[in-house]
Amino acid sequence: MKIKEGFILKEIAGSFVVVPVGDDLVDFTLMITTNETGAFLWNCLSQDRSEQQLVDMLKSEYEGADDAQLAADVAEFVALLKENNVVE
């Protein structure tokens, strides 16, 4: 999966926000707020990646983190993106 065209990640006042661009710009229901981990995963999804690849990339970024927690965090973030139709 990867991020669909038409969405960008912006840092605003220390928070990261996914916002639509183009035709969906006026649809504020498509805005998603995330943290640094979500921003990291977002950037990983600029290319086609599986959930396991995301877990592995996150594990490399946050050495010593609990594998089960990383997998749960990735699953939650991916579910949010899918729910909002942001990934393809």
Q: What is the pTM for the complete model shown?
A: 0.87
1, part of any domain: no
**Does 8 have pLDDT greater than 60?**
yes
Q: What are phi and psi of 14, to 5 degrees?
A: 85, 0
32, part of any domain: yes
88, part of any domain: no
Termini Cα distance of the chain: 5
Whole-angstrom Cα distance, residue 5 to residue 79?
18
Whole-angstrom Cα distance, residue 38 to residue 16?
8
pLDDT band, very low/low/confident/very high, at 26 (cuts 50, 70, 90) = low
pLDDT band, very low/low/confident/very high, at 69 (cuts 50, 70, 90) = very high
Q: What is the mean pLDDT of residues 51-74?
A: 94
Question: What is the tally of structural domains in the chain?
Answer: 1
What pLDDT does 4 receive?
92
**Does 23 have pLDDT greater than 70?**
no
pLDDT band, very low/low/confident/very high, at 28 (cuts 50, 70, 90) = low
Task: Give the range of the structural domain holding residue 14, as residue numbers without chain letter.
Answer: 7-83
2, part of any domain: no
